[in-house]
Amino acid sequence: MVAKGPKLPTTGAVAIHDCTRLPYRSWCKWCVQGRGRGEQHRQGHESVIPHVGLDYFFIAKGGVGTREELAEEYNINPAGNEKLEGDRCKGNVVKAIIVRCRASKAVFAHSVPCRGAGEHDYVVNRVVGDIVWLGRTELALTGGNERSLQALIGRVMVVVRVKVQQGESLTMPKLSSDKPPADDSQPNGAAEVGVLLMRGLFRMLMLSLEHQIEKHIPIGHALVPWLVEHTAPLLNVKARGQDGFTSWARVRGRPFSRQPLCYAEQVLYKLPSEGPLSQPVGSMGARWLGGTFLG
């Protein structure tokens, strides 16, 4: 890639960019390798009711992709589904769900243990938490025609209604479901864009981390699900749209003010001032302990 101008970033600017790898910079090797792509195409009009798209995606040895993008590798059919599920159980494939608001551009991603609602509504509660964070009074949930995804959306709507009736949150939105036609091949553009954004930044952060520790990180490593959770918030607080605002600023009405940390950075964290964890070794013990930042 040819630089647009001869001016190079300062050492300080490079150090700040290395922390989160956001926003995209053409002079950054990892940005180009992980997120470089052709010209963007922007079109469409926003609905009066904000749409939130949900979809599954997979992290495999070949990269991050949707189920359709894995179709050639796994020959998706009953036998292919069995092979895909087997690889997931062996740790060769990580299954995740993407949640993206088309209006605010906010994106969330979670590693999930199964399809559908999940045992004890684990997946449902993660999605509900994302919806509550958006703070909208009304939303329409959209997803593909996959049976497990539609079951998840239905269960999310039930849980939201229960929480509204229990008065747990004044900002809990009213939800509606916007199921696409059965013959629609691209029913969930918002989620597909979210997967595309996640793919580039996730790959970039993974490549950068492997370079720093000089080791390869296998798909089944415990760091991978944590990196999935970490990547989406980075997009929300660092990536700016054409309006100059981040997703965080559009939702919260103010910019993100905390200091971002590098993924897997070694840090000192302060113990709580009260409770059983405040003085684990007595009053003369350290008030700060060492740890690894995972998002």
- Report pLDDT for 2: 54
Q: Are 15 and 184 in contact (CB under 8 A)?
A: no
Task: Count the Cβ atoms, other than its own, within 10 Å of residue 116.
Answer: 17
> Distance between CA 223 and CA 206 in Å, rounded?
10
Assign 176 to helix, strand or coil: strand
Please, what is the Cα angle at 71 between 67 and 73, to 5 degrees? 120
Q: Strand 51-60 and strand 63-65: pairing? A: antiparallel
Q: What is the pLDDT of residue 73?
A: 58
Task: Count CB atoms within 10 A of the CB of residue 66.
Answer: 19
pLDDT, residue 172, reads 54
Q: Which tens digits make up the pLDDT trace of 19-41? A: 888 888 888 888 888 877 655 54
Q: What is the pLDDT of residue 170?
A: 44
Which contiguous run of DSSP H or E holds residue 160? helix 147-165
For the chain, list residues with pLDDT below 70: 1-6, 37-48, 61-63, 65-91, 114-119, 162-188
The 3-state DSSP class for residue 163 equals helix
DSSP bridge pairs for 76: none
How confident is the model at residue 160, as a pLDDT? Answer: 75
pLDDT at 79: 52
Shortest CA distance to 130 belongs to which of 221, 67, 54?
54
Q: Which pLDDT score, from 0 to 100, does residue 41 have?
A: 47
What pLDDT does residue 174 have? Answer: 61
pTM of the entire predicted model: 0.72
Cα(38)–Cα(32) distance, integer angstroms: 11
